[in-house]
Each structure stands twice: as C-alpha cells, then as structure tokens.
C-alpha cells in the first residue's frame, strides 16, 4: 500500500456536512457481511465491489474496505503502522472521546503508541460498519470493533497485569479524500479497567484529581460535541416519508425510553432481543432492559436525552442497520448506581447500533462515557 499523504491536498474539510435521505444505502452490496462473505475472515482476499472513492488511496475498493484495512494496518502490523495515522487522519482532525476533544493526527499517533505498548498483541476485530454518504459530502461510518489483547506493557492505568481484555469500541467517523477529519469514539474503558483488575471508583477519583488532556469539557466543547454533523432539522421532519422511517423510529424510541414512559421497550424490541453495553452489561429481553434503564433514570431523575445524529443502511425486506449518536444532560440526585447522590450536573453521551428486522430491534449495542461520568461524580466529592 502506498504512502498517499504526499499525493493529495490535506486542506481542511471542516465543518462536516449533515446527511440527507439520498445518502443512505438502500441495501447491503457494500457491507461488512459482503466483505467477509459471511465467513469469519478479518481481512479477506477479495476486497469487494468498486465504489467511487475520489481522493482516496486507490488501493481501497470501497468505504468498508477502507475502514477495516486502515484499522488493521494502524493497530496490528508494527510500530510503523501507527505512523500511517498521518495518511488517513487529517492534520486538523477533531476526535471527541471519553475525556473531551483530541485535536490533530499527532495526538492520535501518540495515544495509539501508548495503547499498542500496553497491549503488544492487540487485535481490533471488525464486527460491523454502518455507513452512509459518498465521496462528495463525506462518508459517515459507525465502526463497531472488538478489541482483544494482553496487558504486558505499562499504561496510564498502571503496571502491566498480564490480564487478557475483550471489549467493544464504536467509532463514528467522517472521511473525505482519504482523511478522517471528524470522529466521535467511545472505548468501553470501564470494562477494560475491570478486566485489568482496576477499581473503577478509585481510578475515577485519581483521574478527577489529575485530569487527562481535554477533561473536563467546557460548555462550548460539550455543545460542539453534540452539534457536530447534526442536521438542522431531523430528516423525519424535514423530509418525511410513508412507511418505516429509521430516523423517526430511532428518535421516537430513544425519546420514549429515556424521557418518556418506556412503552417502546415492549412495542419496538423483539422478545429476547440481545443487548451488549458499557461496563460489561450483557442481557436479553424486555425485563432486563427495563431494569437497566430504570436504574439509570433513578440516578438521574431529571435526565433529558436528545438524539444528535441518525444514519442507516437497508430496506424493509433485508432489514436495517441503524447508528444513533445521542447525548444527555442530567443531575445526579437519586439512586445508588453511582453511590450516594452528589447533586452534580453531568454530561452523558453515547452511540447505539441496532439490527432491525420487521420493524423490531433484534440486537442492540450501546456505549456511553461511563468512566468519564464517574469522574464527573468523583470530582463533586473532592
């Protein structure tokens, strides 16, 4: 694969443009399932059908191939692979993560070197890539990956433990001309720390007292995180359609579960649906989901959630894959989930992926900034 950064203009693409309905794929011709042909193959020999990728490295066949192979090259080849970040992240890239905003590809290079030193055998195994857009407005990709590795090197969380970790990350990126220039990424950091044997509250207290770069967020940064790539008006309002509308569905379900009477847990989720979420939450079925959401709402009785961005691929016959990025403001005044109430005003944001069949959610993957949330609460006790 060629070094492509010297062959293209690295001018700024900011701000990223929001998507229209016409940018949503109506099928799965270019998809991770098609990429692997239904087999357990991480990097196939056939990279799939050609898709217009104007400005991208010509070695890539389509946007799924681009996302999967740059991830493999960056994380799993060698130390030089990490430097490839400079070829596929813009110099002025904006990355919103658990701790705040990381700016520029040099910061991403440094953070990735830190992680690969801590987990030299790290693997990032792609589980799904939900995409929309094109090479004119930008490709929006929601990349769900499973991180697997052994902690044999030191990290910011302490000395190596020898523990094996297995956790999810969801990265929602916008890319143009071979450059990712905007990203909202959530690592299941709290799950990783538990697997390393780290006490979450002790770590939250330590980090709150000695904050990492970008933390805590300013109100301006919080508003920027929420507004980034959000349409001026929901597509379901600006461009309504007859029949099943993934935008209307995602917004209505999230609003009802977190702000309403939660009846959509029964009406919009299949019985026995599967859930995987933050800090090793795994369960199936309506009752378990209701228990989880009620516990969160008891901790934050005034929680107000908004949907920031929705995009999808699919159709009624084959089903849908839906990515929803959301955010919430809430005050820690109740419950015992996060120990005794502190009265702290908190910022919560997350990314949810759904598999939808016959109008029902059959699988949900959801990550939110739980370690950061615990840090916010810990700071209120210092």
Q: How many residues does the chain have?
A: 382
For residue range 282-327, list pLDDT tens digits in order: 999 999 999 999 999 999 999 999 999 999 999 999 999 999 999 9
pLDDT score at 42:
84
For residue range 18-50, list pLDDT tens digits in order: 999 999 999 999 999 999 887 777 899 889 999
The CA-atom distances, in angstroms, between 361 and each of 31, 88, 225, 241 are 19, 34, 27, 20
Mean pLDDT for the stretch of residues 357-365: 98
Alpha carbons within 13 A on the beta-carbon side of 200: 22
Mean pLDDT for the stretch of residues 57-63: 97
Average model confidence (pLDDT) across the chain:
95
For residue range 257-287, list pLDDT tens digits in order: 999 999 999 999 999 999 999 999 999 999 9
In terms of C-beta distances under 8 Å and separation of at least 24 residues, what long-range contacts does 202-211 make, across chains too? 203/157, 203/371, 204/371, 204/374, 204/375, 204/377, 204/378, 205/378, 205/381, 205/382, 207/371, 207/375, 207/378, 208/375, 208/376, 208/378, 208/379, 208/382, 209/382, 211/99, 211/375
Domains and CATH numbers, the chain: 5-223 (3.10.450.50), 234-381 (3.10.450.50)
Band of residue 80 on the pLDDT scale cut at 50, 70, 90? confident
Q: Is 179 exposed, middle or buried (0-12, 13-18, 19+ CB in 10 A)?
A: buried
Residue 158: strand pairing partners: 155
**Which residues contact residue 211 at a Cβ distance below 8 angstroms, ignoring those fewer than 6 apart?**
99, 375
């Amino acid at each position: 694969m060629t070094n492509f950064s010297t062959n293209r203009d690295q001018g700024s693409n900011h701000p990223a443009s929001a998507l229209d309905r016409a940018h949503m794929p109506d099928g799965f011709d270019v998809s991770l399932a098609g990429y692997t042909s239904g087999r357990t193959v991480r990097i196939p020999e056939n990279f799939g059908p050609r898709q217009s990728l104007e400005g991208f490295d010509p070695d890539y066949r389509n946007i799924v191939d681009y996302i999967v192979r740059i991830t493999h090259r960056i994380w799993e080849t060698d130390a030089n692979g990490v430097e490839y970040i400079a070829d596929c992240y813009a110099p002025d890239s904006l990355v919103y993560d658990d701790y705040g905003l990381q700016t520029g590809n040099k910061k991403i290079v440094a953070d990735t070197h830190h992680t690969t030193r801590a987990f030299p055998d790290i693997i990032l195994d792609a589980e799904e890539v939900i995409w929309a857009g094109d090479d004119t407005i930008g490709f929006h990709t929601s990349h769900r990956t499973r991180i697997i590795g052994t902690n044999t090197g030191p990290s910011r969380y302490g000395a190596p433990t020898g523990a094996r970790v297995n956790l999810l990350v969801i990265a929602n990126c916008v890319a143009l001309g071979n450059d990712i220039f905007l990203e909202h990424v959530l690592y299941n950091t709290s799950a990783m720390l538990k697997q390393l044997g780290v006490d979450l509250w002790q770590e939250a207290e330590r980090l709150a007292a000695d904050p990492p770069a970008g933390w805590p967020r300013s109100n301006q940064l919080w508003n920027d995180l929420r507004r980034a790539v959000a349409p001026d008006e929901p597509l379901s309002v600006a461009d309504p359609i007859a029949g099943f509308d993934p935008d209307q569905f995602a917004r209505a379900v999230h609003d009802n579960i977190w702000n309403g009477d939660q009846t959509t847990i029964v009406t919009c989720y299949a019985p026995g649906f599967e859930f995987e979420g933050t800090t090793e939450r795994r369960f199936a079925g309506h009752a378990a989901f209701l228990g989880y959401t009620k516990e969160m709402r008891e901790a934050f009785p005034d929680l107000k959630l908004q949907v920031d961005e929705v995009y999808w691929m699919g159709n009624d016959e084959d089903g849908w894959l839906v990515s929803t990025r959301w955010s919430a403001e809430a005050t820690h005044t109740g419950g015992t989930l996060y120990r005794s109430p502190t009265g702290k005003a908190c910022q919560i944001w997350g990314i949810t992926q759904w598999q939808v069949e016959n109008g029902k959610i059959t699988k949900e993957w959801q990550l939110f900034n739980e370690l950061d949330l615990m840090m916010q609460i810990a700071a209120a006790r210092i």
